Structure 1
Amino acid sequence: MTGIPSTGRSVTPRSATEIRQYDLETDVVIVGYGCAGAAAAFEAATTGAEVVVLDRTSGPGGASAMSGGEIYLGGGTPIQRACGFEDSPEQMAAFLRSALGPGADAEKIARYCADSVEHYHWLVARGVPFKPSLWDAPAWVPPTDDGLMWLGESSRPFTEIAAPAPRGHRPTAHDFGGKLLMEVLVAAAETAGAMAHFDTTATNLLVAEDGTVVGVAARRYGREQTILARRGVVLTTGGFVDNDAMLAAHAPRLRGHTKVSAGTDDGSGIRMAQALGAAVRHMSAGQVGISLIPGFAARGMVVNDRGQRFVNEDTYPGRIGQAALFRQEMNVWVVLDEEGYEAVPEPQRWGVRPTHVAETADELGELMGLPPGALTATVSRYNEFASRGIDPDFHKAERWLRPLTAPLAAIDVKAGVRPPAESGDRRGTGASVFTLGGLHTTVDGEVLDLNGDPIPRLYAAGRAASGLHGEGYISGTSLGDGTFFGRLAGRAAART
């Protein structure tokens, strides 16, 4: 996909004084029908407000429906307790402040963690099922319907920051659970009374003379429509990974990689608000899904093109991905032995096979094109300490430490991986990315201008907004952030 350019149709706000008659009038307009839009629609509709959701595609779901379905929840949920884990909002917040990197929003993290158990119960009340069982191995998406998984909480440096507790809550679905999650949330929104208009692309915000947002202009099948929002507009249009012009301007390191999206994350909502003077945050930040099998990485080593390790391999794989892209330009390999390879059950390998195999580290390094002797030195040091159950360089947990024995294998991450449900070649750069930055918002989703003041009656949530994240990412924080702050934004817009 080449991306959707930011040039073309103007996103300049239009004056409401130009509108002689609206095509549709409602209380709240929500633009975008992913997880944040569905949560906002439900909350707004349950107040008694009339709610209209616009989506440019022919149905709801967006990138949320394509996701693994993990929702980052903690603080002592019933699923955590059933699996034998104690947790608290304070421990959860300490982990997220560190894991979500420089610039993480401490106020939003505090609110999210304090209300995480309540949000769990809200999801369950909407019909999201969670099974009280733990998947206890590294994975992007477990091949089971277990309801809880680790997302780096038990790896360094986080074990020194917060008491480890698994917080990846998964809807009860084998493989990817995003589709199930969206089916449940959309059904809840529709039952509450929200009305959806599909194949409808919002193009401009409509603004009163005093700067208050009073609606949106949109196009449907080539015809313009104007929609009055008597109480507020909520932008849940997603990020901007599909807009190469915006990536070039804000996040150039994310260009040229596989895009994690439904093909509609073109930054349109962000741009419409910016045209009204909205501020943005962390526009250079992005999540990097690296094309490796976490179980292989944890049982072996991840090395760069100099044959050196650069990260603890048992950490959240997205941290490996960010380190690989931002520090190693994706020139990385997974090195392991036969025992480590065979220890990962075949269904969890996603068809990945070694790129090179050799009887010695020197021979393998030569096949990989590494500097002479570099891989041998790295393997020797790793094995020396692994035999003692320690990793002084990167502090990988003892559970995963074992000397590697010949023959050795290397997997080039650029060879790619593809979930079992998909088919075809996946070779690329080894990175699959999406953006984390977006509109600057309050906890309640109010969009702030460059002075830090709320733009009247304009709200945002999900990847269109800068939510919990700074420069870091943990799986489940998009769906968790989107549903939770989508709820708050929908509620705030309805009561305006």
Structure 2
Amino acid sequence: MGGLVGVEIPDPVSVESVSAWSDEVDVVVIGAGMAGVSAALEARSTGANVLVLDAGGRLTCTSAMAGGHFYLGGGTEVQQETGWDDSPEAMADYLALMSPECDPAKIRAYADDSVEHFRWLESLGFRFNRSFYPHKAVVQPGTEGLSFTGNEKCLDVADVVKPVPRGHKVPVAGDTGGAALVVGLALDKLAEQGVEVRWETSATALVLDGDRVAGVTWKDLDGTGAIKAGAVVIAAGGFVLNREMLETHAPDLLAVESNGMALGNTYDDGLGIRMGQSVGGVADHLGEVFLTGPFYPPGEALRGIVVNKLGKRFVNEDSYHSRTSAFVFEQPDREAYLILDEATMVEPSYRFQPLVDGWDTVEEMEQALGIPAGALAATLDSYNEAAARGEDPEFRKAPEYLTPLDNGPWGAYDLTPGKCFYAGFSCGGLRVTVDGRLLREDGTTIPGAYAAGACASNIAVDGKGYASGIQLGEASYFGRRAGRTAARQD
């Protein structure tokens, strides 16, 4: 997006004040990330005349920085060919358990249409590998097409919903690059279909004709103008690079400033959200964030325990990394440590967590970490006794990661924000219907206004329930729905 910063909501422009239109189209899409290109493709497929505006250049979007997981299920070809039995019902049950505040209609639509959406993604010009990666990882290192990318295998979750992997990775090795491939292919499709993407062009305000959004004003390096449109789809990203909005809504993301990074690009300034608010839209879950400083891989690190400054455990260590991180941020003074003994000591592959030290006795470790005398010893005694039986009655860590930590010396990695490296992004956004229509506080829709992606509130509403691939999955899926509905203008 670019342009107005801070928390100020830009005034909408009345149609009467527009002296001339630079363009007249059926649908304007603001943003050329995963949500925007998906909306534009779907709108164009209905026969609409579409124009896309993007403040940056090709593939400067935040989507292009992602690792390339799409959270898909219900029985995709990858799931079937790797021997996993899934259904839309099971997928919806899992998402509802992880995102209880999400509109059930959105979860159900996303799950019901997941197989079709999987095929649509492949129609862009790539193919998910029909292979499964079984190990605990943030992103599988190779090009395996399927892995567990959430909390599906955590015992408290598996008691309710049968564990099924749904993290579909684009066939690009490594932690990044997969999503850029998909967005690039979508941009190529738009070019083939005659849809212009106008780069380095920032939307600045929405145009109102009565209570209907009828276009958008813009600026670029050469000037300004206004575009008349039957509908506007806001797909302009989140607000993780807007310090004032973070201070107001999501201060947890400021905690990573001294040692961490925002998962976003320069144009994640929240202007899309504020433009939606300018015409009566409301925003939900702006205080919810995704934060992570994963201490796995290797998966062996999960054999340790995570404790707070009081020496108490507070999470099952085999949780998805953002769930563990969310619990860290809730602890007293946000202090937390990963404790390992000589038999389990490994170095986290990403090296985000500094090694505090090693100690011959637990008592020495307590003193060095500032933990009350005897507190960590009591935690270890209780944990070790249960782990020797292959149990974890307090937090129910999976048996494969249970082993007594009774073989000194002991070491501690620091998980405390500021000492441990964390990354994060904003989760909240504009309140929309399942088809992306922008909603007022009273539940009525705002004619001509739609939103999708990181500036809309759909399924990815908090970090504890997040799974890798949900943001790209929902951006593309709900982007398509918004584009299709905007083109119909019904």
TM-score, normalising length from structure 1? 0.91
Report 1:124-163 matches (<5 A). Answer: 124-150=122-148, 151-163=150-162
Residue 329 of structure 1 deviates from its aligned partner by: 4.6
Distance 1:331 1:268, change over 3 A: same
Cα deviation for residue 275 of structure 1 reads 1.1
1:303 aligns to 2:307 (yes or no)? yes
1:297 positional shift? 4.4
| Partner of residue 465 from structure 1, selected from 456, 460, 483 | 456
Which structure 2 residues correspond to residues 279-294 of structure 1 after superposition, within 5 A? 279-293=282-296
* 2:426 alignment counterpart: 435
CA contact 1:4–1:243 (8 Å) conserved in 2: no
- Structure 2 unpaired stretches of 5+: none
Letter in 1 for 2:220: R
Matches within 5 A, 1:396-415: 396-404=397-405, 405-414=407-416
Q: Residue 117 of structure 1: SS of its match in structure 2?
A: helix
CA contact (8 A) 1:444 1:485 kept: yes
Q: Which residue of 2 aligns with 1:320?
A: 324
Aligned to 1:453: 444
Alignment of 1:58-207 (within 5 A): 58-100=57-99, 102-150=100-148, 151-175=150-174, 176=176, 177-207=178-208
Q: Distance in 2 between matches of 1:18 and 1:239?
A: 29
Q: What's the % identity of the aligned pairs?
A: 38
Is the contact between residue 241 and residue 434 of structure 1 (CA under 8 Å) also seen in structure 2? Answer: yes
Root-mean-square deviation (Å): 2.1
Instruction: Provide, for residues 14-63 of structure 1, a one-character-per-residue CA deviation record: whole Å limited to 9, x for no partner.
Output: 01111121112222110011100011111111222221111111223411
Match of 2:362 in 1: 361
* Alpha-carbon distance change, 275 to 329 in structure 1, aligned in 2, over 3 angstroms: farther
Select between 183-192 and 52-61 the one with higher mean Cα deviation: 183-192
The aligned amino acid for 2:467 is I
Give 2:30's aligned residue. Answer: 31
Residue 270 of structure 2: aligned partner: 267
TM-superposed deviation, 1:370: 1.8
- What is the deviation of 1:349? 4.7
Equivalent-residue separation in structure 1 for 2:195 and 2:326 (angstroms): 38
Q: 1 CA distance for matches of 2:130 and 2:342?
A: 34
Q: Kindly provide the CA deviation profile for residues 285-334 of structure 1, in whole angstroms up to 9, marking residues without a partner as x.
A: 11111343353542211111112110001111111111111345531111
Correspondence for 2:239:
240
- d(CA) in 2 for partners of 1:4 and 1:48? 33
CA distance in 2, matches of 1:201, 1:140: 34
Correspondence 1:383-402 to 2 at 5 A: 383-402=384-403
For residue 95 of structure 2, give the secondary structure of its aligned residue in structure 1: helix
Matched, 1:483 2:485: no
1:157 partner SS: helix
Q: Which residue of 2 aligns with 1:252?
A: 251
- Deviation sequence 1:141-173 (CA, Å, 0-9, x none): 221211111122011321011111011111111
1:415-434 alignment runs, 5 A limit: 430-434=421-425
Write the distance in 1 (CA, Å) between the matches of 2:255 and 2:394.
Answer: 32
Residues 449-475 of structure 1 show CA distances to partners (whole Å, capped at 9, x for unaligned) of: 122111111110001101113433222
Gaps of 5+ in 1: 416-426
Distance 2:144 2:342 in 1: 28
From 477, 485, 495, the equivalent of 2:488 is 495
Q: What is the identity, as a one-letter code, of the residue corresponding to 2:369? A: M
What is the letter of the counterpart of residue 316 of structure 2?
A: N
Paired with 1:167 and 1:262, the residues of 2 have a C-alpha distance of 27
Query: What residue in structure 2 maps to residue 17 of structure 1?
Result: 16
Quick one: structure 1 residues 338 and 53, their matched pair in 2 at CA, closer, same or farther if it must change by over 3 Å? farther
Alpha-carbon distance in 1 for matches of 2:54, 2:471 = 19
Please state how far the C-alpha of 1:340 moved relative to its aligned partner. Answer: 3.0
Separation (CA, whole Å) in 1 of partners of 2:25 and 2:71: 33
- Give, in whole Å, the separation in 1 of the partners of 2:250 and 2:182: 30
Contact kept, 8 Å, 2:323 with 2:466, in 1: the verdict is: yes
Output the CA distance in 1 between the equivalents of 2:397 and 2:22. Answer: 60
Aligned to 1:418: none
Deviations 1:211-250 (CA, angstroms, capped at 9, x unpaired) = 1111110110162121111x21100011112222222222
| Separation (CA, whole Å) in 1 of partners of 2:152 and 2:398 | 12
User: What is the one-letter code of the residue matched to 1:312?
Assistant: N
- In structure 2, C-alpha distance between the alignment counterparts of 1:249 and 1:349, rounded to whole Å: 31
Q: Structure 1 residues 30 and 328 mapped into 2: Cα distance closer, same or farther (>3 Å)?
A: farther
- What's the counterpart of residue 278 of structure 1? 281
Contact 1:459 1:489 in 2 (8 A): yes
